[in-house]
A and B are shown apart, each in its own frame.
Chain A
Amino acid sequence: MARMTDEGLEKLLAEYYESEPSKSLTYRSQRAEKTAKPPILSFRRAAVTAAALTLVTVLSVTAYFIFGNKSNDFISVTSSQSSTPSEQGRGGGGAPYASENSTGATERQDGGQEPTVPRSVTPAPTEKGAAQTRETTAVMPTQKPAPAQKPTESAQAPPTDSVSATEPAPTKATEPSNDPPPTEKPTYVSPTDPPWNDNPAPWEPEEPTDSGDDPPEPIVYPTQPEPKNYCYGYIMYDGGSLYCYIEDENGSMMGDPDWCSAQHLAEIVYTYGNGYVLARWSPNEHGVRPSSGYHKYGFVNEYGNTVFEDYVYTQGVS
């Protein structure tokens, strides 16, 4: 490009910056809200879930000892009430985790009502599968439910001996020690991994993303060196002299070396134990000085204002 005058550059810059972009950006609040969701929500949700599980466990154990000895009646009621998806999660005493895990929803739908009888946590499969499930599954209310995908497998499996439909199995953890044990020992089949452990809600951040920085972020001088990756120019100290370099973004030398030469450096004010020095110098006749470090005092501008001194806090070299 031909030689450009100051006026020409000024006009070019003004036109560039004042021109309106043909496209304008729009704030997408949904993204912000998703990112900004405070982590406390996940804790709250976990606490509510834990409390609900405790309540359900207590109620289930109570129900078991009320109806437990009438094992046939118990299973009969259990099977008949866990038939269709539409019934689950509608309230009426279904186990909260059954609703939550069978639908994948993040909110509980049981309404907190107390179940009158324990229900199977097995999510309802298809009609055909449901019929088989009635005969084959008798997962105890206090057991952790299988994942939502499991009912199909359960429904397709032939009736097995692994769980007896006539033998409700209380969990060891919830069984009161001072009550008489059931007359028959049930065969306990360990449920699969509880889905609530491995299936967090999609909006839950896995770890806090907020760095906690509050704008504005004042620079602390001079105890905090500027990060190297933000330095485009820096002073090097070899123990006796100071040298100045200005680098471009690729790390190569740029600009006129005269802009920033050691002759403009006045003195080292203080040498830190960590190899850093605090240097003071005067800018050169162009008003240019190293661009890194922390400029505490003094400056030169195009209007010829008086320049006193400048400081830089910079890393030395051994």
Chain B
Amino acid sequence: MTDFEAYVTRYSHGLSKFCIKLCGGIDDADDLFQDTWTRALEHFDAYDPEKSFQTWLFTICVNLYRNAGKSKYNTTRREFSSTEEKQRFFDTVPAEEQDIDERLDLYRALNSLPKKYRVVLSLFYLRAFTTREIAEILHIPEGTVGSRLHTAKKLLKRRLQDGSHDR
């Protein structure tokens, strides 16, 4: 097994989960997931083994996501256009525990957020990175990570309360 294959084995699960949560749909997530590994493979020579591979990998993923157009990796929008699309969404979360309407509201509210807030929320609640590592991935000061989290949650809360994501 090559080094790269070993990394794929080790980090695919985390990256897969991150892409699904970030994009909100399996198809978009799969595109982002594959593109990230492809880019990582292309630039694997540039990876510094002294640094965290996971941070490097997620930096690629976030850059791809942020630098893409508005619609790329986010074709799933606030409303489900079909039963199949709705089913695809619910395939991404376990059916037990949460109230289905509450999850749907959260999903819609998250998808209505600007990309940069979705990114910081996904990175933070994935529990895989420290705030410092998130700052490194996003190329922003560590404090800005906190600021964006604060703003993201504030926006989210407001949209969940008044349903503004439906407008």
Residue positions of A touching B, CB distance < 8 A: 1-4, 6, 9-10, 12-29, 31-33, 35-36, 210, 213-219, 229-230, 232, 248-249, 254-255, 286-288, 291, 295, 299-303, 305
Complex contacts, B144 vs chain A, CB 8 Å: 295, 299
- Chain B: minimal CB distance from A27 (Å): 5
B43 touches A214 (CB 8 A): yes
- Chain A: minimal CB distance from B127 (Å): 7
Q: Give the distance in Å from the alpha carbon of A284 to the alpha carbon of B118 in the complex.
A: 23
- Chain B: minimal CB distance from A23 (Å): 6
A25 touches B33 (CB 8 A): yes
B63 touches A17 (CB 8 A): no
Q: List 11 A-B contacts (CB under 8 A).
A: A16-B125, A17-B21, A20-B17, A25-B19, A26-B12, A35-B38, A35-B42, A36-B41, A215-B39, A299-B147, A300-B147
Name the one of A1, A248, A254 contacting B163, with C-beta atoms under 8 angstroms. A1
Majority secondary structure, A binding face? loop
If A14-B125, A18-B125, A232-B114 touch, does A1 touch B161 (CB 8 Å cutoff)? yes
A1 touches B37 (CB 8 A): no
Q: Give the distance in Å from the alpha carbon of A9 to the alpha carbon of B155 in the complex.
A: 11
Complex contacts, A20 vs chain B, CB 8 Å: 17, 94
Complex contacts, B54 vs chain A, CB 8 Å: none
- Chain B: minimal CB distance from A157 (Å): 49
- B43-79 Cβ-contact flags toward A at 8 Å (1 or 0): 1001000000000100110010011011000000000
B127 touches A18 (CB 8 A): yes
- B95-135 Cβ-contact flags toward A at 8 Å (1 or 0): 10110001101110010101110000110011100000000
| Range class of the B interface residue count | 35 or more
A249 touches B17 (CB 8 A): no
A249 touches B139 (CB 8 A): no
Interchain pairs with CB closer than 8 A, number: 165
A255 touches B147 (CB 8 A): no
If A15-B98, A26-B12 touch, does A229 touch B105 (CB 8 Å cutoff)? no
- Most B Cβ at <10 Å: residue of A16, A18, A295: A16
Name the one of A24, A27, A230 contacting B115, with C-beta atoms under 8 angstroms. A230
If A28-B34, A215-B60, A229-B70 touch, does A12 touch B43 (CB 8 Å cutoff)? no
Q: Give the distance in Å from the alpha carbon of A32 to the alpha carbon of B147 in the complex.
A: 36
- Chain A: minimal CB distance from B97 (Å): 7
Q: Give the distance in Å from the alpha carbon of A23 to the alpha carbon of B152 in the complex.
A: 27
B63 touches A217 (CB 8 A): yes
Name the one of B42, B116, B125, B161 contacting A4, with C-beta atoms under 8 angstroms. B161
A229 touches B69 (CB 8 A): yes
- Most B Cβ at <10 Å: residue of A213, A215, A301: A215
A31 touches B38 (CB 8 A): yes
B39 touches A25 (CB 8 A): no
Complex contacts, B116 vs chain A, CB 8 Å: 232, 291
Residue on B with the closest CB to A13?
Answer: B125
Complex contacts, B139 vs chain A, CB 8 Å: 216-219
- Chain B: minimal CB distance from A253 (Å): 12
B157 CB–A CB distance under 8 Å: yes
B16 touches A25 (CB 8 A): yes
Complex contacts, B38 vs chain A, CB 8 Å: 31-32, 35-36
- Chain A: minimal CB distance from B134 (Å): 13
